[in-house]
């Protein structure tokens, strides 16, 4: 008996917002739609505009079909459609210089990032932003991504604007600040919500909901015990003037216009998936030089072979000096640095563990006295008559019969619980009487 679940975690407070379970591998697209409805309802309740929402999804949702379910909501997710790497636009982008490196602080792994901000991947006209992250393959097979020629390729989808979030910002959102795997690890250690405790599906769902409710309650009580202000972290610095060759991202390459009427310009040389340029006569121009400019731009210089240029019938339209020149044709493309926000990106959140564990430690080491007062009425006679087999078989009782049997009657014995060692402010928050 296996069940999978979809959960919603609020990143800045670490509260669980919803949980949806299904048998087997679940129905992840149906659960995603229910999760989006819960997120929108929660945002309306706290008057949060949709433009302030960002959903981080794991790799199970990294397909174009699933991304259509998100509508206009902003998202960051890992992709698993690795056949997209074979598309000509992505191959051409991989042949150009990368946007920037990204180092994961915990592991020290360095990924090289290639940003493809505007790709038409389907016939519906919708465009996607894909970030390709590469790193050298190790001695063992990588558990994530696909390995080709000793290089591991990873895909990430997002619809965040490149002018606001660079490729490194998106990676940091997914792998660091926006990740919820550490919270799942803490949850398993403290509560074990995945424990199988009921043979009924709804009983198992009730167990998971109660476990997450206890998690949220500990966060609230811990904040009353150990009130902490919201932490502010500079997630990404403000845009500054960049030194030559240190651009954090490049806009699409641009070519110069024709210098003379009737002559070929750089726009007439089509880019190929293998990173070369193709001239109007069908010959290839290979990359020969990468020249940083003073303003941070990067100039890519492509050159043809003189053996192809000499017998070319279109040489008169291509060369500056026509047949008189002895040099092959060269074409340069200019990559301008992509401008990002002039203000820094700030991340505000609360501590994930400190306040919650303060509540756990307080309950663990305090003194607890439980006193049971005598019942107001004498106990009933033990001889209650003869029971039928259906009454003795508890599993055959209806829900209302079980509730009537198990609920506490108003005349039952009173229970008084006395707690020692709780701060007065904490007791007042819970509505307890101080002694």
Same domain, yes or no: 61 and 125? yes
Contact 147, 325 (CB under 8 A): no
Domain endpoint, select from 122, 147, 179:
179
190 is a domain residue: no
Contact 153/111 with Cβ under 8 angstroms?
Answer: no
Write phi, then psi, for 281 (nearest 5 degrees). -90, -5
> For residue 32, is it within any domain?
no
pLDDT digits (tens, 9 = 90+) for 182-232: 888 888 888 887 777 877 888 888 888 898 998 998 888 888 888 788 888
Q: Does residue 58 share a domain with residue 171?
A: yes
Judge whether 125 lies within some domain. Answer: yes
CB 114 within 8 A of CB 134: yes
The reply to whether 225 falls in a domain is no
Residue 43, in any domain of the structure: no
Q: What is the distance, to the nearest Å, from the Cα of residue 289 to the centroid of all Cα atoms in its chain? A: 37
Q: Residue 272: inside a domain, yes or no?
A: yes
16 DSSP β-pair partners = 9
Three-class SS string for 118-161? EEECCCCCCEEEEEEEEEECCCCCCCCCEEECCEEEEEEEECCC
Identify the helix (H) or strand (E) that includes residue 331.
strand 330-335
pLDDT (tens digit per residue) in 249-305 = 666 677 766 666 677 888 888 888 777 888 888 888 888 888 877 666 788 888 888
The span from the CA of 249 to the CA of 335, in Å, is 9
259 & 159 share domain: no
Query: Where does a domain end: 311, 335, 359?
Result: 335
Residues 65 and 152 in one domain: yes
pLDDT tens digit sequence for 69-122: 888 889 999 998 899 898 888 888 888 888 888 988 778 889 999 998 888 876
Q: Of the residues 149, 179, 209, which one is the last residue of a structural domain?
A: 179
CATH number of the CATH domain containing 93: 3.90.350.10
What is the number of structural domains in the chain? 3
| 3 state DSSP class of 91 | helix
- Compare 156 and 65 and report the one with higher pLDDT: 156
Per-residue model confidence as pLDDT tens digits over 409-435: 777 778 887 777 777 777 788 787 876
Query: Are 330 and 376 found together in one domain?
Result: no
Of 141, 123, 148, nearest to 132 by C-alpha is 148
Which residue bears the tokens 């493309």? Answer: 333
Mean per-residue pLDDT of the chain: 81
Could you tell me if 366 and 419 are in contact, meaning their C-beta atoms sit under 8 angstroms apart? yes
In eight-state DSSP terms, residue 94 is H
CA distance 211 to 190: 10
Same domain, 395 and 278: no
Q: What is the pLDDT of residue 186?
A: 86
Q: C-alpha 393: how far from its chain's center? A: 49
Burial (Cβ within 10 Å: 0-12, 13-18, ≥19) of residue 334: middle
Asked whether residue 71 falls in the same domain as residue 138, the answer is: yes
Point out the least confidently predicted range of 10-14, 226-230, 367-371, 372-376.
372-376
Residues 288 and 393 in one domain: no
Residues 139-184: tens digit of each pLDDT: 888 888 999 989 999 999 999 888 788 888 899 888 887 788 888 8
* CA atoms of 375 and 412, how far apart (whole Å): 6
pLDDT for 295: 65
Instruction: Tell me, yes or no, whether 376 and 308 share the same domain.
Output: no
- Dist. CA 301–CA 292, nearest whole Å: 11
109 occurs within a structural domain: yes
Q: Do 74 and 136 sit in the same domain of this protein?
A: yes
Please indicate, yes or no, whether residues 287 and 330 belong to a single structural domain of this protein: yes
Judgement on whether residues 280 and 377 belong to the same structural domain of the protein: no
CB 205 within 8 A of CB 147: no
Print the domain residue range for 374.
370-420
Residue 17 lies in a domain: no
């Amino acid at each position: 008996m296996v069940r999978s679940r979809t959960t919603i975690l609020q990143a800045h407070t670490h509260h669980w917002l919803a949980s949806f379970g299904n048998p087997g591998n679940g129905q992840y697209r149906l659960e995603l739609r229910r999760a989006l409805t819960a997120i929108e309802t929660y945002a309306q309740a706290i008057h949060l505009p949709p433009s302030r929402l960002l959903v981080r999804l794991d790799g199970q949702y990294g397909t174009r079909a699933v991304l259509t379910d998100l509508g206009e909501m902003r998202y960051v997710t890992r992709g698993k459609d690795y056949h997209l790497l074979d598309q000509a636009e992505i191959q051409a982008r991989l042949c150009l210089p990368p946007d920037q490196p990204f180092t994961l602080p915990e592991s020290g792994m360095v990924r090289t990032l290639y940003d493809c901000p505007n790709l038409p991947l389907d016939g519906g006209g919708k465009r996607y932003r894909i970030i390709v992250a590469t790193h050298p393959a190790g001695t063992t097979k990588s558990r994530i991504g696909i390995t080709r020629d000793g290089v591991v390729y990873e895909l990430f989808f997002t619809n965040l604007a490149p002018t606001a979030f660079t490729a490194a910002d998106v990676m940091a959102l997914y792998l660091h600040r926006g990740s919820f795997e550490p919270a799942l690890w803490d949850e398993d250690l403290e509560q074990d919500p995945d424990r199988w405790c009921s043979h009924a599906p709804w009983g198992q769902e009730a167990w998971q909901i109660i476990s997450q409710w206890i998690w949220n309650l500990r966060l609230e009580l811990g904040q009353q015990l150990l009130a902490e202000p919201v932490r502010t972290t500079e997630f990404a610095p403000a845009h500054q003037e960049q030194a030559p060759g240190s651009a954090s991202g490049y806009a699409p390459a641009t070519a110069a216009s024709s210098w003379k009427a009737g002559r070929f310009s750089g726009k007439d040389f089509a880019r190929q998936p293998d990173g070369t340029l193709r001239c109007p006569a069908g010959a290839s121009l290979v990359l020969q030089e990468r020249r940083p400019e003073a303003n941070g731009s990067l100039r890519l210089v492509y050159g043809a072979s003189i053996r192809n240029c000499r017998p070319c019938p279109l040489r008169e339209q291509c060369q500056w000096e026509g047949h008189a020149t002895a040099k092959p044709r060269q074409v340069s493309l200019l990559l301008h640095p992509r401008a990002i926000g002039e203000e820094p990106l700030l991340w505000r959140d609360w501590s994930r563990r400190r306040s919650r564990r303060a509540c756990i430690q307080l309950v663990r080491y305090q003194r607890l006295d439980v006193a049971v007062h005598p019942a107001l009425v004498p106990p009933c006679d033990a001889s209650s008559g003869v029971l039928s087999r259906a009454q003795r078989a508890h599993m055959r009782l209806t829900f209302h019969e079980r509730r009537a049997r198990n609920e506490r009657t108003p005349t039952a014995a009173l229970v008084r619980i006395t707690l020692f060692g709780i701060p007065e402010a904490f007791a007042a928050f819970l509505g307890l009487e101080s002694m």
